[in-house]
Structure 1
Amino acid sequence: MDITAEELLTRDLDATHRALIAIARTLGDYVRHLLAPVAAGGPGLDGIFYAVTGTANTDLLGRARFEEFSRPYDRQVLEAVGDGLVVLHTCGAESHPEWFADERIDALHWDQFQPGNPQLDAPFGTTVVGGVNKDLFAVDADRTQVAAQLEATLEAAPDRPFLLAPSCTVPTPADGDSLRLLREAR
């Protein structure tokens, strides 16, 4: 049976919330396992990268629906991190990183090159992540643009700690020389 996102959000809200609870519990259990010390049988990771892939986009859910269908379940997963580190990514255009600034996260990542998104100097009170347009890492892209964007980002760096990174997932395959430019940037 095919069902649209709109139907999920309007037809049987109890079933939708039950499914979201189950997903959040499963992800929370997985996060706790990932952060469990090696001595306790876990991998012993220091933290997680948590991506909110579009639910903060106003065109997809809107603020009220985000608060109902995303935030409580995202928080459940983030709470499972405990004292671990969290880099949170909010994906796409109009991704509203400001909606996450009050969460218990260590770094906030969004694509500052997408329409409706703020630049890296936005005052979110946490470490920001970004700097180079993800599209510039394509195999056929111009490496001089990567170098220029890296230089411009570092020169205009926010007056607080930040992590220099592509603005979102880099294309696959990516240009190795462009990735090396990023790795070697100072």
Structure 2
Amino acid sequence: MANWTKRKRLEATIAGEAVDRPPVALWRHWPGDDQDAAALAAAHLQWQANYDWDVVKVGPASSYSVADWGVEDRWEGHIEGTRHTTRYPVASPSDWAALQPLDPGRGMLAVQIDALRHVGEGLRGETPFIATIFSPLSMAKHLAGNETMLSHMRHSPDAFHAGLATLTESIVRFVDAARAVGISGIYYAVQHAAYPLLSRDEFDTFGRPYDLRILESAADLWCNVVHLHGSAVMFDRVADYPTAFLNWHDRDAGISLAEGLAQTRAAASGGVSQWTIHQDGPANTLTEAADARAQTGDRRLLLSTGCVIMTTTPLRNIRALRAAVEKS
């Protein structure tokens, strides 16, 4: 195929077809910049100018989707770029029922929509870009803290379900607003399909139905990515999710790319550990990248890491991974 645009390369990868080279992308948090739309967009546009990724995942603060319910946090220097929560607004089961769906045109959600708009304008249609969406369970964790959330889930399930329904509605509204500014897909982060956080029955009750509702609302987008977070994951409970790409910690979860691809219709996103690329030099990164390409035969593979890279990742390692796909 002549004229391999980024979109054509990604679409061929999703379809399992041969490509000129595997698409490649890395993503990270942008602490401080993630509190301002223009700054966040500028960081991503410079990231793209530096490395020419095949897709840009716009990475907000992990708390962006719950800040307007009263979550407070601050940047304290974590190398992953995440923020430390200083206030959880949900303390009792009754607090879940008090939540109302958020308006994506106001507050921190509006900041993120504005950032997405700026990113799209800066990319000028040359590179697909996707919005980061956290699952309702992930949002609930940020609202209450993981321990309190799990207690409410297990001892006040009706109240907790009411909260999850509200969170789901807010996500769907946000996806609608993001679609209007031109996103190609969503990066949907599932953080609780993992042991020992939940049992399989708990995830099937409190996680999976809401995930499927949100993915259904985004089904018209062509470049959706589901991220399965953790090293002890319920892979089979997510493998059938309707998505273009499934991203998981393939180097840490004991489920290789080849094994994962045998269980899902989606293409894979991964191949390199975020900790390997954080090492002194690029040698091990290049070894993992070569192995990922060998496992997949350069089909159904978006070469990436299993999760965000650290903000302190050596730049020569990033450059080396980007350059690796240009070599046969």
**Do Structure 1 and Structure 2 share a fold, with TM-score over 0.5?**
yes
The one-letter code sitting in structure 2 at the alignment partner of 1:6 is L
Give the deviation of 1:88 after TM superposition: 0.3
Asked whether the 8 Å contact 1:29–1:80 carries over to 2, the reply is no
Give the deviation of 1:141 after TM superposition: 2.8
Q: 2: CA distance between counterparts of 1:156 and 1:179? A: 21
Number of the residue aligned with 1:175: 314
Number of the residue aligned with 2:239: 101
Number of the residue aligned with 1:49: 187
Tell me the SS of whatever aligns to 1:121. helix
Tell me the SS of whatever aligns to 2:220. coil
* Number of residue equivalences: 177
The one-letter code sitting in structure 1 at the alignment partner of 2:160 is T
Q: 2: CA distance between counterparts of 1:100 and 1:16? A: 22
Number of the residue aligned with 2:265: 125
Asked whether the 8 Å contact 1:131–1:153 carries over to 2, the reply is yes
Q: 1: CA distance between counterparts of 2:300 and 2:252? A: 22
Asked whether the 8 Å contact 1:120–1:158 carries over to 2, the reply is no
Q: 1: CA distance between counterparts of 2:293 and 2:299? A: 12
Give the deviation of 1:46 after TM superposition: 1.1
Give the deviation of 1:159 after TM superposition: 6.9
Number of the residue aligned with 1:76: 213
Give the deviation of 1:158 after TM superposition: 4.7
Tell me the SS of whatever aligns to 2:154. coil
Normalised by the size of structure 1, how large is the TM-score?
Answer: 0.87
1:155 equivalent in alignment to 2:299: no
Number of the residue aligned with 1:27: 171
Tell me the SS of whatever aligns to 1:65. helix
Q: 1: CA distance between counterparts of 2:219 and 2:271? A: 29
Tell me the SS of whatever aligns to 1:104. coil
The equivalent position to 1:144 in structure 2, one of 283, 288, 308, is 283
Q: 1: CA distance between counterparts of 2:303 and 2:317? A: 14
Asked whether the 8 Å contact 1:121–1:158 carries over to 2, the reply is no
Give the deviation of 1:106 after TM superposition: 0.6
Q: 2: CA distance between counterparts of 1:146 and 1:29? A: 39
Give the deviation of 1:50 after TM superposition: 0.5
Give the deviation of 1:8 after TM superposition: 1.4
Give the deviation of 1:174 after TM superposition: 1.6
Q: 2: CA distance between counterparts of 1:12 and 1:141? A: 48
Give the deviation of 1:57 after TM superposition: 0.5
Q: 2: CA distance between counterparts of 1:47 and 1:98? A: 23
Q: 2: CA distance between counterparts of 1:147 and 1:160? A: 18
Give the deviation of 1:156 after TM superposition: 2.9
Number of the residue aligned with 2:161: 17
Asked whether the 8 Å contact 2:273–2:305 carries over to 1, the reply is yes
1:185 equivalent in alignment to 2:324: yes
Q: 1: CA distance between counterparts of 2:215 and 2:296? A: 28
The ranges of structure 1 where at least 4 consecutive aligned residues each deviate by more than 4 angstroms after the TM superposition are none
Shift of the 129–11 alpha-carbon distance from structure 1 to 2, 3 Å rule, reads same
Shift of the 69–144 alpha-carbon distance from structure 1 to 2, 3 Å rule, reads same
Asked whether the 8 Å contact 2:250–2:270 carries over to 1, the reply is yes
Give the deviation of 1:131 after TM superposition: 0.6
**Percent identity between the aligned chains?**
27
Instruction: Identify which of structures 1 and 2 has the higher relative contact order when contacts are C-alpha pairs closer than 8 Å and 6+ apart.
Output: 2
Tell me the SS of whatever aligns to 2:155. coil
What is the CA RMSD across the aligned residues, in angstroms?
1.8
Q: 2: CA distance between counterparts of 1:100 and 1:10? A: 22
Number of the residue aligned with 2:230: 92
Number of the residue aligned with 1:165: 304
Q: Mark the runs of 5 or more structure 2 residues left unpaired by the alignment.
A: 1-90, 93-146
